[in-house]
Amino acid sequence: MAEESRRLFLALWPEPALAERLHQLAGEAHRDCGGRIMRRETLHLTLAFIGAVGEGRLPELLETLGRIRAPRFRMQLDALGHWAHNHILWAGCTHAPPALPQLAADIRREVAAIGLPASGPAFVPHMTLLRKAHAPCELPVFDALAWDVAEWVLVESRLTPQGADYQPLAAWALG
Ligand code: 2AM
119 pLDDT more than 90: no
**Tens-digit pLDDT profile for residues 1-59:** 678 999 999 999 999 999 999 999 999 999 999 999 999 999 999 999 999 999 999 99
* Contact of 167 with 64, CB cutoff 8 Å: no
112 three-class SS: helix
40 three-class SS: helix
Give the distance (Å) from ligand 1 centre to CA of residue 106.
18
Q: What is the pLDDT of residue 150?
A: 98
Give the distance (Å) from ligand 1 centre to CA of residue 49.
6
Q: What is the pLDDT of residue 101?
A: 97
Structural domains in the chain plus CATH codes: 5-173 (3.90.1140.10)
* Contact of 160 with 52, CB cutoff 8 Å: no
If one residue of 6, 9, 50 were mutated to test the ligand 1 pocket, choosing by the most ligand atoms within 8 A of its CB, it would be: 9
Give the distance (Å) from ligand 1 centre to CA of residue 13.
14
- Alpha carbon distance 5, 114 (integer Å): 16
Give the distance (Å) from ligand 1 centre to CA of residue 103.
17
From atom 22 of ligand 1, which residue's Cα is the shortest distance away?
Answer: 49
Task: Evaluate: CB of 128 within 6 angstroms of ligand 1.
Answer: yes
From atom 7 of ligand 1, which residue's Cα is the shortest distance away?
Answer: 46
From atom 11 of ligand 1, which residue's Cα is the shortest distance away?
Answer: 46
Task: Evaluate: CB of 49 within 6 angstroms of ligand 1.
Answer: yes
Q: Is the dihedral of CA 23, 25, 27, 32 positive or negative?
A: negative
